Structure 1
């Protein structure tokens, strides 16, 4: 990166509500800073554990080419309509944690979403946002996913907590 070129705000996206909120936040911040936004999406073929025969249609969807094409389609969809800032789409093969930490090396700021998994899921799978907070080469902003109307309603409708049994 040349000295006269401004460093980008980097944002990780995967199409989830949290990553879309992170993208909106990153774009607004980049407008204030007057710098571009690198929208990074990572893909990798994840075959997991498969027991038993699979339908041919499913196998076709699991090829590296199909997984890459789906990731590109998601990346293109999430940046549609973003205006007022220069956007660079970055599609990377590999682990999203590694891709975002690498992208942070030349970044002004790294913005990621937090899906809010349970503690057990985070312990087993690991958290992209936590990894970035600990390993990124620039400041990191973690954006929580916006609550849906259903979540707001369920919180409001929940019974009040009491200190003990009701008599």
Structure 2
């Protein structure tokens, strides 16, 4: 049994999309689904002497959690559902929940306690300090390959990417982008160095193939496509995500991602990806299947 799949619930349509994604993940993992609502912390200058405001907020939370539970049970009645409500800031509550969770799932937009989840400090806190992978769900469930951005050897990222593809019976597209010189300079560099862009592509492709070789052996049924792209990594991933069921990216923590997620590329992926985005932080929670060794049985 895995830790629970935690989903942030706030009464919004995107939050219900997150519930739909999360219940599928919980079913695949054989894990319970925990529906979490961060009830509004009242401002210090707002008086509530008879508790009527708090009671109304609690009633609203219960209604939203019942709605989310009904959605989850309509999809998979065998997944145990655990509602939880707490008066807390969303980031603090989700960070606490992430420590024992398989994944934390949130909608791409929200109301109430999760309004600012994907903007500013809350998103940074959850993706850089969370104890498990974070999924930003979006829209209806999609079919198609899993796409993963590969910058360097990130075993936990690759474990999640291959596991997600295997669980869906989907292909896996591994994308590595490097900043090739502008075409106008490429010929001059080739003349000066004796190496052209195609040689660099081949070198990057060989490195990518080497990183993925142990995983390819471990998951022989996962159809794997390697893509070497030029330019901005976020743009390359967004291009490939058009037909994807999931986009997987890595995070080193402390706000530093593998060149992908914070700053302008953060907005590009989290706000513009047409599919759910799974963010995997190094040290942020392992999957049940460990990283394969290069000398594991079956390797030649």
Q: TM-score with structure 1 length normalisation?
A: 0.65
Corresponding residue for residue 93 of structure 2:
99
Aligned to 1:44: 40
Alignment of 1:1-167 (within 5 A): 6-46=2-42, 63-81=53-71, 82=73, 83-115=77-109, 126=120, 128-145=122-139
Please, which runs of 5 or more residues in structure 1 have no aligned partner?
Answer: 51-59, 147-167
Q: Structure 1 residues 96 and 79, CA, compared in 2 at 3 Å: closer, same or farther?
A: same
Q: Would the aligned equivalents of 2:15 and 2:110 in 1 still touch at CA under 8 Å?
A: no
Q: Counterparts of 2:70 and 2:10 in 1: how far apart (Å)?
A: 14
Name which one, 1 or 2, has greater alpha-carbon Rg: 2
Deviation at 1:85, TM superposition (A): 0.4
The higher-RCO structure (CA 8 Å, 6+ apart) is 1
Distance 1:144 1:61, change over 3 A: farther
Question: What is the aligned length?
Answer: 129
Q: CA RMSD in A?
A: 3.0
TM-score, with structure 2 as normaliser: 0.38
Conserved? CA contact 1:61–1:67, under 8 Å: no
In 1, distance between residues paired with 2:127 and 2:20?
Answer: 19
Q: 1:106 to 1:116 in 2, by over 3 A?
A: closer
Task: Tell me which stretches of 4 or more aligned residues in structure 1 moved more than 6 Å.
Answer: none
